[in-house]
Amino acid sequence: MLSEKDCRERYLKSGNPPVIIDAHSHLWLWQHTVVNGKPIQQLPDGRSSFLGTEVQMMNPWMHDNHNSAEKFLANMNYAQVGGAVVTQEFIDGLQNDYLEYVSRRWQDRFFVYGMCEFRKPGFLIEAQVLLRRGFKGIKLPAARLIDDSGRIRIDTEEFMSMYHLMEENGMILGIELADGAVQCEEVEKIISECPRLKIVIGHFCMVTRPDWMEQVRLARHENVYIDMGGITWLFNDEYYPYPSAITAIREAANEVGMDRLLWGSDYPRTITAITYRQSYDWILKSEELSDLEKRQLLGLNAQKVYGFSSLPVLPYIPNMSE
């Protein structure tokens, strides 16, 4: 297997270095919310009280618990990641105000999703407000709409009105689905009624769970893509450099095409186990993927979906230990 340095040199010798875009990341300044009646609250040294369990939510050096854009940019610059898509999740709380600031302050580096309170009626008005505020995408954590207390369908009249609004205004729908095919029929309805609505399914369709390919097959539609956010978490038991993840990428690509898949890190949660650079260099090191496939996964596909156009050229800075 090629070393990290050998991979980097091979890319540089082959011409332009790869465009690297992180298609799935998170930012927040304050994490304080409730999900399914259970609190999520910040604790010192990067930890959180998470649904009744104490977890290391981010690296311990992030001791102020501010998962800020400045810290992320430092990681991106070091790892030569030109741009990033910042998504949202109920477990982080609504981050629209901060992400609007991030998008305006660093518009060449970040694409940010807005999010509505989908757990109760009235979110269509919120979506209209997000559009007026300049958000170009809306995130729907659909998997969180199914719990022990019941289920909120994502193809109701209010949801469909929101999708039509998004389609008419060129917005992107980011969505994470419950395991397997549970919500696939609802997504098929969305695709049928809004064929021009660009949809990105997150968390690599929960690849390690049963029937994950049912979600992958949704990307047979030309307006549907799949991001790999959290793939290193899903294969954490195997650990770096995740050979089974490469196998899964190939399986998904055989079904829908490599041009449908976007690398994402799920920063900052995943970098408690590995470094930020390691969250993608296992793809660079793989001998089972071609040069073009690596470039597609790491940035070209995301550039096509999200429209990054002014990414910086980031030099490689050697480590002191090299």
Q: What tokens appear for 236 in the block? A: 């954490």
Q: What are φ and ψ of residue 38, in 5° steps? A: -115, 135
* SS3 of residue 261 by DSSP: strand
Burial 156-184 (b: 16+ CB within 10 A, else e): eeebbebbebbbeeebbbbbbbbbbbbbb
Range list of β-strands (E), 7-113 = 21-25, 32-35, 38-42, 47-50, 53-56, 83-86, 110-112
pTM: 0.94
Length of the chain: 322
Spell out the per-residue pLDDT of the chain, length 322, in tens: 545 455 555 544 455 778 999 999 999 999 889 998 899 999 999 999 999 999 999 999 998 889 999 999 999 999 999 999 999 999 999 999 999 999 999 999 999 999 999 999 999 999 999 999 999 999 999 999 998 778 999 999 999 999 999 999 999 999 999 999 999 999 999 999 999 999 999 999 999 999 999 999 999 999 999 999 999 999 999 999 999 999 999 999 999 999 999 999 999 999 999 999 999 999 999 999 999 999 999 999 999 999 999 999 999 988 898 8
**Alpha-carbon distance 139 to 40, whole Å?**
20
Contact 167, 197 (CB under 8 A): yes
Contact 84, 22 (CB under 8 A): yes
